[in-house]
A and B are shown apart, each in its own frame.
Chain A
Amino acid sequence: MRRSLMGALMGAMLFAAAPAAAQDLDSMTPEELYEIAKTEGNVTIFSLSSRIAQIKVSFEEKYPGIQVEGVHLNSTRQIARLQAEQRAGIYAIDVMYMSETPIVYRDLVPEGLVEAYVPDRVKADVPEALRENLLTHRLSTRALMYNEATHPDGTPITNLWQLTTPDWSGRVLIDDPTQRGETLDLLTEIALRGDEMAEAYEAQFGEAISVDSDLQGAGEQFIRDLFNNDVVMINDTQTLRSAIGIISDGPKPVGFMTYSASRNNERDGMALQISNDTVPGAGILFPAVLALGKNAPNPAAARLMVDFLMGDDTPSGGAGFEPFFVQGDYAARRTIEDHPDAIAFDDLNLWLINPEQTGQARQRILDLVITLQ
């Protein structure tokens, strides 16, 4: 408790001298940051991944004298806790590593509850779209997946609209979009891509689409048609994966999940594969971002942590990035190589979401889905 009080005090002091100090810190090299961070002594990071435990070890090894407090919390909980803390005037969080960016950009960024930090040394390596506001650490996916053993000649779904046909009635699996932000983001992206969906409709059925009068665009029509075609919702990731991916006789459903699910194919006796050839797109790429908490109690150590997590200049990203280097996820730093077993980043047929736009459109899509349930 003394520590958090001290933290709050230090935060308050820094806040007084903030403008100059923060700018200085932002332009410092890791070595310079480390010198100041040593006087701070520790750093608190909230992480959506439990692999933060590995980061604690490697960070403390590289930067002795700084203790890492790594808290594993999902993004929703991180956001709720940050809001509650700051409402009480507590500034205890240095770094947040989270996804659910549509909510981050809606609830945290405009109010200034989190701050962006992009280390100078990685700026050139990260495409601009991934560091415009908060710094993207890596991109995860929510994509259409099929069973490669059942369909050795490639995906049975060449056009998303096939999912709305009687052949696939009751054979498309998805986790509940009213409970999973990523899945809601996927449907929202499809809705935002109305023109592409209209074009794909014509390619599939040979005629122009007619959209119901209460809907906006072909994407929303797709969502309605998909639900009316008895899409099956599952809340258990493991069951979702094995229902689609298990190697056995008989027809298999297809469904939406993270592409990285395929990395355990061998271990689990599965044959999950991304349906990358589906037009107009097979799914979405969404960011996990790194942000500093407002009035971070350990501003130098916080920046040093972000810098560390962005990895070194080796193709694997070194100790800072390696724990997150899994097949099917993609580093924002393009100097870090894509996983050899996964489709190369440039060949992915996935839509990169724009979190701010998604955040604005999300509510409407959520409401649409609720009425369809």
Chain B
Amino acid sequence: MATLASRAPWMARVVQSRDIVPLIMLAFTTLLVIAPLLMILFATLTPDGMAAWQAITNSPLSRNLWWRPLGNTMILGAGTAIGCLLLGGFLAWLVVLTDVPARRFLAIMSILPFMIPSFAAALAWSTLFRNDRLGGQAGYFASNGIPIPDWLAWGIVPTLIVLIAHYYSLAYTMIAASLSSVSGDLVESAEMAGAKRGRILFGIVLPIVTPALISGGMLTFAGAVSNFAAPALLGAPVRMQTLSTRIYGMVQTGNIERGYVLALLLMLMAAALLYFSDRFVSGRRAFVTVTGKGARTKRFALGRWRWPLFIFATLIGVITTIIPVIVLFASSMAPRPGVLFSNWTLHFWIGPAGTSIAEGQAGIFRNPHLIDAVFTTIRLGLTVAGCAMLVGLLIAYTIVRYKASPYTRILSQLSFVPLFIPSIAMAAAYIAMYGTSLGPLPALYGTFALIVMAATANLMPYAVQSARGVLGQISADIEESARMTGAGAVRRMAQIVFPLAMRGIMAGGILVFIKIVRDLSLVVLLFSASTPLLSMIAFNYASLGFMQFANAITLVILVICLIASGLVHILQNKVQGWKSK
């Protein structure tokens, strides 16, 4: 170090300073996130791009292209975040901290909605609530004589409800992971000191999980803001546009620069929001609850509220999961689209080829690509989830441990941005950047590695946010003890941080897994192997006009997600066995 200091003093300062880790992570994030961002930015600095800035910010179009969609987007984002925190927080509290009956069942019910694509929830809504705005068939309620006003059938209200129903599991996952680290000691001490339940909840539990609340709020906000299916399906008939439908539309009609400008503006808004929430979190005292002294969770006795609360929670689950699944299932069995509940047939699942049904197409279980696709999909899901978990853990660790570094805040914001980058831009940037060999990096065009990289970057926010919520609670003492006994950084990471944060990381991993096996838009642009993914098979069927097959595939994907999260659940309990009784 001495020689280095004499040769390049600035370098020595950097290496010795506390900024080194944040800087390394920042460099890493630059490769994954800033590069595509810059590409987007440069695309908007061309003459066409400047015209797009002009059209969006300062022209007669601004109102309908930017301001009104922005308003709708913000209402949906904020509304969804609040709704999800309330719903997800309530369920997490119930499952983790109380003696409510059938907690395992409720836990699984609470993570299920996220596995069901949001289009299914939107479809379910319009099956029930559609009114005569479209003519033709009315929905279930309207045809049973219950008039449904436009505001309940279409537009911002149903979109908001569907988004909350879809995203509350995100908030649940994060809050539950954080709550499970609220040690029974704390609660018991409070009880001994004579604190009432409400006091314990608001005085102890809530402050501890604040970081998880913020993370959950940000993620559900971002999810709602970037969701396309729900506003596109439920908003169009009353001409409601959001920024996501606008971005999609601009890309689709060949105005890619406008799409990029809208995306950049949206990212700015989100970054500002994140900045303030970061300040809010870091302005508070941090509550360290994972101290290495294993203490199991202490459960509140609900008393006579046990069953009513159980029924209420089950009801939430039924409405948000079972109904969309039934609609999906029915639409995979109904020969006539739109007439969901009659003449059911299993043809779309197991029927042979060459019949008069479905233009001779065989059922999905006879599709020769199905098994291959299942395995390719799972492989992709696991690889991306693994990579994202690792990247997420490292970044979250840096953010939490190096709070003082000015680079940390930038890192925190950067790690959040990918959710807002339109997938078409992300894919294009990755092809353009990593398609040819780049110094020591080989050309990655058409490889599995490129897809994994892009997907990891794209879903990084999920992993970072969920790891962050949990890491913030781990005491630095433990690590320092390890450091004093001579454990290196890697060893500390592997043997202390990783196991302690396991629950949160796994929670993030499963979210990433679900997201990637369901998602089409990014992968489809980078994939060229002849074995398709499940989501691509579903897309093939849908584009042939056979929603039944597509919905059947969606259900297969759902089953895969369900199994995966079941496994994770078991694993979580194994890893942190000291938590359960």
Neighbouring B residues of A173 by C-beta, 8 Å: 134-135
Say yes or no: B254 contacts A246, CB within 8 Å: no
Q: Which of A206-246 contact B (CB under 8 A)?
A: 232-239, 242-246
Q: How far is the CB of A108 from chain B (nearest CB, A)?
A: 11
Q: In the assembly, what is the distance between CA of A173 and CA of B253, in Å?
A: 20
Q: Which of A80, A176, A233 has the most CB of B within 10 A?
A: A176
Q: In the assembly, what is the distance between CA of A279 and CA of B67, in Å?
A: 38
Answer yes or no: A121 CB below 8 A from chain B CBs: no
Interface size on B, residues (CB 8 A): 63
Say yes or no: A264 contacts B545, CB within 8 Å: yes
**Which listed residue (A103, A239, A367, A373) contacts B126, Cβ 8 A?**
A239
Q: In the assembly, what is the distance between CA of A17 and CA of B241, in Å?
A: 51
- Interface-located stretch among B25-33, B165-173, B244-252: B244-252
Query: Taking A85-B431, A269-B336 as contacts, is the C-beta distance between A100 and B254 under 8 angstroms?
Result: yes
- Interface-located stretch among B155-163, B229-237, B372-380: B229-237
Answer yes or no: B330 CB below 8 A from chain A CBs: no
Answer yes or no: A160 CB below 8 A from chain B CBs: no
Answer yes or no: A84 CB below 8 A from chain B CBs: yes
Neighbouring A residues of B528 by C-beta, 8 Å: 44, 69, 71, 92
Q: How far is the CB of B358 from chain A (nearest CB, A)?
A: 8
Say yes or no: B433 contacts A88, CB within 8 Å: yes
Neighbouring B residues of A253 by C-beta, 8 Å: 134-136
Query: Taking A170-B133, A248-B137, A362-B254 as contacts, is the C-beta distance between A242 and B338 under 8 angstroms?
Result: yes
Neighbouring A residues of B338 by C-beta, 8 Å: 238-239, 242, 246, 268
B536 — nearest CB in chain A belongs to which residue? A72
Q: How far is the CB of B545 from chain A (nearest CB, A)?
A: 7
Answer yes or no: B277 CB below 8 A from chain A CBs: no
Query: Taking A88-B432, A100-B254 as contacts, is the C-beta distance between A232 and B134 under 8 angstroms?
Result: yes
Neighbouring A residues of B424 by C-beta, 8 Å: 76-77, 80
Answer yes or no: B339 CB below 8 A from chain A CBs: yes
Interface string of B531-565 (1 = CB under 8 A from A): 00000100111011101000000000000000000
Say yes or no: B135 contacts A234, CB within 8 Å: no
B433 — nearest CB in chain A belongs to which residue? A88
Answer yes or no: B194 CB below 8 A from chain A CBs: no
Say yes or no: B136 contacts A370, CB within 8 Å: no
Q: Which of A76-92 contact B (CB under 8 A)?
A: 76-77, 80-81, 83-85, 87-90, 92
Q: In the assembly, what is the distance between CA of A181 and CA of B248, in Å?
A: 12
Q: Which of B228-271 contact A (CB under 8 A)?
A: 232-233, 236-237, 239, 241, 245-246, 248-256
Say yes or no: A90 contacts B252, CB within 8 Å: no
Say yes or no: B253 contacts A232, CB within 8 Å: no
Say yes or no: A84 contacts B254, CB within 8 Å: no
Interface size class of A (residues with CB under 8 A): 35 or more
Neighbouring B residues of A344 by C-beta, 8 Å: none
Q: In the assembly, what is the distance between CA of A234 and CA of B436, in Å?
A: 42
Say yes or no: B337 contacts A238, CB within 8 Å: yes
Q: Which of A235-277 contact B (CB under 8 A)?
A: 235-239, 242-246, 248, 251-253, 264, 267-269
Query: Taking A80-B525, A84-B427, A235-B232 as contacts, is the C-beta distance between A72 and B239 under 8 angstroms?
Result: no
Interface string of A48-75 (1 = CB under 8 A from B): 0111010000000000000001011110
Answer yes or no: B184 CB below 8 A from chain A CBs: no
Answer yes or no: B61 CB below 8 A from chain A CBs: yes
Say yes or no: A244 contacts B255, CB within 8 Å: no
Query: Taking A72-B539, A176-B236, A232-B237 as contacts, is the C-beta distance between A242 and B136 under 8 angstroms?
Result: yes
Neighbouring B residues of A179 by C-beta, 8 Å: 232, 245, 248-249, 252-253
Neighbouring A residues of B530 by C-beta, 8 Å: 69
Neighbouring B residues of A357 by C-beta, 8 Å: none
**Which listed residue (B126, B252, B547) contacts A181, Cβ 8 A?**
B252
Say yes or no: B136 contacts A181, CB within 8 Å: no
Answer yes or no: A343 CB below 8 A from chain B CBs: no
Answer yes or no: A36 CB below 8 A from chain B CBs: no
20 contacts between A and B (CB under 8 A): A1-B445, A69-B528, A76-B251, A90-B436, A102-B254, A170-B133, A173-B135, A178-B250, A181-B253, A232-B134, A235-B232, A235-B236, A236-B233, A242-B136, A242-B137, A246-B338, A268-B337, A269-B336, A373-B64, A373-B241
Can you list the 9 inter-chain pairs with the closest CB atoms, starting with the nearest?
Answer: A88-B435, A243-B136, A50-B540, A253-B135, A242-B338, A84-B428, A179-B249, A84-B431, A103-B254
Known: A81-B431, A84-B427, A362-B253. 9 other contacts (CB 8 A): A80-B424, A100-B254, A170-B133, A178-B250, A181-B254, A242-B337, A243-B134, A252-B135, A373-B64
Residues in chain A within 8 A of chain B (CB atoms):
1, 4-5, 44, 49-51, 53, 69, 71-74, 76-77, 80-81, 83-85, 87-90, 92, 100, 102-103, 106-107, 170-171, 173, 176, 178-181, 184, 232-239, 242-246, 248, 251-253, 264, 267-269, 362-363, 366-367, 370-371, 373
